[in-house]
Structure 1
Amino acid sequence: VPARPPVVRPGAAAPAGRITVRTCPIELVRDVDILVSSENTFLEMSKTFRSTVSGALRRAAALRDASGEIVDDVLARELGVWLRTHERPGVPVRPGTVVATSSGALAAQGVRRIHHAAIAAPVGNGERYHVTPAVLAEAVRASFELARQEAEFLALPMSSICFPLMGTGRGGLSVPTAARALLGALGRELRRDPSWSVLMVTPDEGHARLLMAASSAR
């Protein structure tokens, strides 16, 4: 099994009430309570060999045996339970819906929950997806609402959340458009409840610079 790259710790430097931007793959984030994954509206996660946010988190959260074989595909399994419980297998959910699962193996990195944001509606044969800025904003709102509910009803003391730059891959949104939608929605949530610290991550340095500039200008 290839050695995993070192885990970074961007969460510790994220102050409450602020949006912090880091250049980092989301699956390497440490000490942040909630990681948000972008999903299609069928809540079917990307394959573990894909380089998508969904695929990377699914791969990182899976439990493995001593040889590195996956023995529990935690995130996909728990999403499947949610879909069956809510009678949604094979049926799309409303765009912007957010569903929570445990963090599986990512608990070892200090991650408590994974929020699965259904933002991408398949188009045609599923090779492309449709994502709108309004759906990104709704997913941000729904994720914060779900986080507050879980903090109260599951007695989880959570105060930090990490979002990737969603909607820019096969979702088709330009990076500036997605950044404006996400930052605008995050700003509204932080004005409503400044006790949260927000981390935005992207593995692309150019995208990170754009996010930092847009965040500073707000």
Structure 2
Amino acid sequence: MSPTQLPDHGAVLAEVREVRRAGIVRLRELRLPVLTGMSASPGEGSPGEPRFPAVERLLRTAVAAIGGGTLQEAAEFSLGLAQGTRDWPPADRRRRAAQVYGVSVERFRKNQELMVLGQVAEQLVRLASGAPAQPPATSAAAPASDVGTAPADGSAPASALTSASAISEPSARPRPLAPSHHRIPVRAGGHGGHVTLHVHAVDLLRDIDVVVSPSNTHLALPEPYKSSVAASLRRAGAVRDPAGRLVEDRVRDELRAWSDRFAAPGLSVAPGTVAPTGAGALAWQGIRRIFHAAVAVPRPGTNDYDVQPADVTRAVTRVFALLAEENGRSADAGLPPLRSLCLPLLGAGRGGLTPAVSFAAVWAAVEAELARGGDWDLHFLVRRPERALLVAELLASTDGAPTEEPGP
């Protein structure tokens, strides 16, 4: 396409947003004159071929040219280009893209989504101009037009084959695996110590006395097939027979019993409430207790939640108080005390807090406890490496309270 025929960025963005609403599976039904014209460039499709496969290839090339990271991941989920999301409804794709940034769906719709789709449109315009697109992080030497673009016969793209052959050569050095456990020195109130940072799923934890699980103020656990911390703990704590069939949903049953005993029927508990339960089948992994921290307040009429940093701090403070209470009872019963505690980033999922704000709220209570001389074996848990880097940096700078990152 010649420079005089370059498409307008606004027109490209409008059609990208239309694709987001309809999804890749409905490309045939959409009227996309700008994207169709751009896909007619040399090398994009062949004469007589329906235009919608060429449009999809063009979109995949543009998204791959973003260069990786959360921006590319959110773009793939938004447009249904991520593996397994092709036929997802637009609401599900938007929700998953919002999770990439750790914000609520509504916040993502009003802020990050326009940025993400705008970057896709920007890459499309760059491709149309013939300018070199930003190379993806996975293969800096590969042309942008090859990355993420599968040939029509379904075979692997040339760049992927080249990478695969390079890996098999003795001279190629594979990228080392990132460690999943980090021991980081911290200091609070003149007291020094160490915190262990885990970078993996919560159900892989071993030999930790208490794991804190985020919950909503109705203390309603998510379904066990979901991917949240609470759902994973419920799933891992269930007792199953040798064939994998559910025998006893212990974590849910104990939490329901606690709620029946202490909460008013049909009403929510106050934000910051902590409900202790056993760990169910996780006891075989050395997990003794699960403390359910009610920090997420359901937003009426939506599937979203509101989380206030002050409620997170209040909940973690209550966690330490419960530890002291249960240790008093354990001493009377001749049981070993609870010493180790694992904390996720409370409220940083669907609650909408940024990871830095969540950590600051959690750390405010942790720092106060350490400053009082609390002798605990502390652990933090995240799943994504980029969040692990953030938490590690914040932990390493704990001469004072971490600085909150402004929300998006």
- Cα-to-partner distance string for 1:75-105 (whole Å, 9 max, x where unaligned): 1100111111124342110100001000111
Which of 297, 307, 325 lines up with 1:121 in the alignment? 297
Query: Amino acid of the residue matched to residue 280 of structure 2?
Result: G
What are the equivalent positions in structure 2 for 1:1-218 lying under 5 Å apart? Answer: 17-155=193-331, 156-218=336-398
Distance 1:87 1:210 in 2: 37
Distance 1:192 1:54 in 2: 30
Distance 1:167 1:177 in 2: 9
Distance 2:287 2:204 in 1: 10
- Cα-to-partner distance string for 1:32-79 (whole Å, 9 max, x where unaligned): 100000000000111101111110000000010111011111111001
Distance 2:276 2:306 in 1: 22
Distance 2:264 2:194 in 1: 36
Query: Amino acid of the residue matched to residue 133 of structure 1?
Result: P
Q: Is the 8 A contact 2:184 2:396 kept in 1?
A: no
124-133 vs 112-121, which deviates more?
Answer: 124-133
Count of aligned pairs? 210
* Greater relative contact order structure (CA < 8 Å, 6+ sep): 1
Distance 2:312 2:300 in 1: 21
Instruction: Quote the offset at 1:17 in angstroms.
Output: 3.9
Query: Amino acid of the residue matched to residue 185 of structure 1?
Result: A
Percent identity over paired residues: 37
Q: Is the 8 A contact 1:33 1:160 kept in 2?
A: yes
- The answer to which structure has the higher helix fraction is 2
- CA change 1:113–1:73 in 2 (3 A) is same
Q: TM-score, structure 1 length as denominator?
A: 0.90
Instruction: Quote the offset at 1:126 in angstroms.
Output: 4.4
Q: For 1:18, what is the secondary structure of its paired residue? A: strand
Distance 1:128 1:57 in 2: 21
- Cα-to-partner distance string for 1:89-126 (whole Å, 9 max, x where unaligned): 42110100001000111101111100000000000224
Distance 2:285 2:180 in 1: 9
- The answer to which structure has the higher strand fraction is 1
Instruction: Give me the CA root mean square deviation.
Output: 2.0
Q: Is the 8 A contact 1:10 1:29 kept in 2?
A: no
Query: Amino acid of the residue matched to residue 208 of structure 2?
Result: V
Distance 2:314 2:350 in 1: 19
Distance 1:111 1:14 in 2: 22
Distance 1:89 1:161 in 2: 31
Q: TM-score, structure 2 length as denominator?
A: 0.49
Distance 1:93 1:126 in 2: 19
Distance 2:239 2:302 in 1: 29
- Structure 1 residue runs without a partner (length 5+): 1-7
